[in-house]
């Protein structure tokens, strides 16, 4: 078995993360596609978001850790540690934490038959979430449908290196925006939305996931994978995509009254990915 899961799991012994600001309370919090282990991960923003929220249930909807990248070269900083501490804080506070591995952290899928639970974090292939209003939602990463919808075909043509180049350009672009007094804006996400075939593929992906939820007799689906935050009805099925913490900083939350909301954390807080210090950036 690959040693990477053990190396990452060893970090679960990190000390507590203590919130320093008032917390917003939610019934359920869904996050995905953090890609810890890459320089593009907005781990600093996610750690702050997690420390400023409280919830009864926390879903980690895949690609939290980028095992693909870590196998090639190791990158891990204090902000990445802070995300793990924040997740553990939620578990210690009594939140049910469910980790559904994606394709980039697929190394954890080998542990699924064991029913593994570490420090209050439970691994699951997928899950059914019962919302406060009685709605039943399928929660899964979504990569199982990649071969069907071929969403990443154009990214495959560009190649992994070219995609990372786009993310690098995105960081420099936002460095310039910050110095001009503008908040963070995802150039790479905007470029993808302008590609006609990618837009069509997103729609096919969303439709395929909605069909899977209906096939299982459920009311809707929550997924990640395509880095495209969305909340809409597809026929009679509710479709939610949590977005990501690489090209944007978004999360899906369920309020205690059953309302769902997509939170764009960077826009809400006028944060820039180029800011060396979050306190300075938020000032």
Convert the pLDDT of each residue in 54-74 to its tens digit.
Answer: 999 999 999 999 998 888 888
**CB proximity list for 240: less than 8 A, separation 6 or greater:** 30, 137, 220, 221, 222, 223, 230, 231, 252, 260, 262
Q: What is the DSSP string of 206-253?
A: HHHHHHHHHHTT-SEEEE-SSS--EEEEETTEEEEE---SSSS-EEEE
Confidence at residue 197, expressed as pLDDT on a 0 to 100 scale? 58
Q: Counting Cβ atoms within 10 Å, is residue 214 exposed (0-12), middle (13-18) or buried (19+)?
A: middle
- Residue 128: is its pLDDT beyond 90? yes
Whether the pLDDT of residue 222 is over 60: the answer is yes
CA dihedral 90, 91, 97, 103 (to 10 degrees): 80
Nearest to 119 by CA among 85, 142, 153, 158: 85
Mean pLDDT of 146-158: 47
Average pLDDT over residues 12-23: 49
Q: Which of 263, 264, 222 is nearest to 240 (CA)?
A: 222
Distance from C-alpha of 165 to C-alpha of 160, rounded to nearest angstrom? 9
- What average pLDDT does range 165-194 have in this prediction? 69
Please tell me the distance from the alpha carbon of residue 264 to that of residue 268, in angstroms, as a whole number.
6
Residue written as token pair 């639970």: 117
More confident: 136 or 203? 136
> Residue 25 — pLDDT band, cuts 50, 70, 90?
very high
* Average pLDDT of span 229-256: 95
Is the pLDDT assigned to residue 189 strictly greater than 80? no
Q: Phi and psi dihedrals of 111, rounded to 5?
A: -90, -10
CA angle 114, 94, 140 (to 5 degrees): 50
Cα Rg of the chain (Å, integer): 18
Per the structure block, which two tokens stand in for 161? 């290196």
Q: Is the dihedral of CA 106, 108, 113, 115 positive or negative?
A: negative
Residues paired with 31 in a beta bridge:
60
Contact 212, 222 (CB under 8 A): no
Give the pLDDT score at 199. Answer: 66
- The pLDDT, as a whole number, for residue 162 is 56
- The rounded percent of the chain whose pLDDT value lies above 90 is 54
Domains of the chain (ranges, CATH numbers): 4-282 (3.60.21.10)
pTM of the model: 0.77
33-43 pLDDT tens trace: 999 999 989 99
- Average pLDDT of the chain, as a whole number: 81
């Amino acid at each position: 078995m690959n040693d990477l899961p053990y190396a990452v799991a060893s970090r679960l012994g990190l000390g507590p993360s203590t919130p320093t600001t008032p917390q917003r309370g939610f019934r359920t919090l869904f996050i995905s596609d953090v890609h810890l282990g890459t320089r593009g991960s907005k781990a600093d923003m996610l750690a702050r978001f997690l420390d400023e929220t409280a919830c009864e249930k926390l879903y980690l909807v895949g690609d939290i850790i980028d095992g693909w990248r870590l196998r090639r070269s190791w990158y891990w900083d204090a902000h990445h540690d802070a995300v793990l501490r924040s997740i553990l804080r939620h578990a210690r506070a009594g939140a049910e934490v469910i980790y559904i591995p994606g394709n980039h952290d697929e190394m954890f899928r080998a542990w699924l038959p064991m029913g593994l639970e570490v420090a209050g974090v439970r691994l699951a292939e997928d899950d059914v979430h019962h919302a406060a209003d009685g709605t039943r939602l399928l929660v899964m990463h979504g990569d199982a449908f990649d071969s069907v919808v071929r969403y990443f075909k154009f990214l495959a043509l560009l190649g992994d290196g070219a995609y990372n180049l786009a993310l690098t350009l995105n960081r420099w672009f936002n460095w310039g925006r910050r110095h001009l007094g503008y908040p963070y804006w995802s150039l790479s996400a905007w470029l993808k939305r302008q590609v006609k075939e990618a837009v069509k593929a997103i729609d096919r992906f969303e439709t395929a996931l909605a069909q899977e939820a209906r096939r299982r007799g459920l009311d809707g689906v929550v997924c990640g994978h395509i880095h495209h935050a969305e909340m809409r009805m597809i026929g009679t099925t509710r479709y939610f995509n949590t977005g990501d913490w690489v090209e944007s900083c978004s999360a899906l939350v369920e309020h205690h009254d059953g309302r769902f909301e997509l939170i764009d954390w960077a826009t809400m807080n006028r944060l820039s990915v180029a800011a060396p210090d979050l306190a300075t950036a938020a000032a």
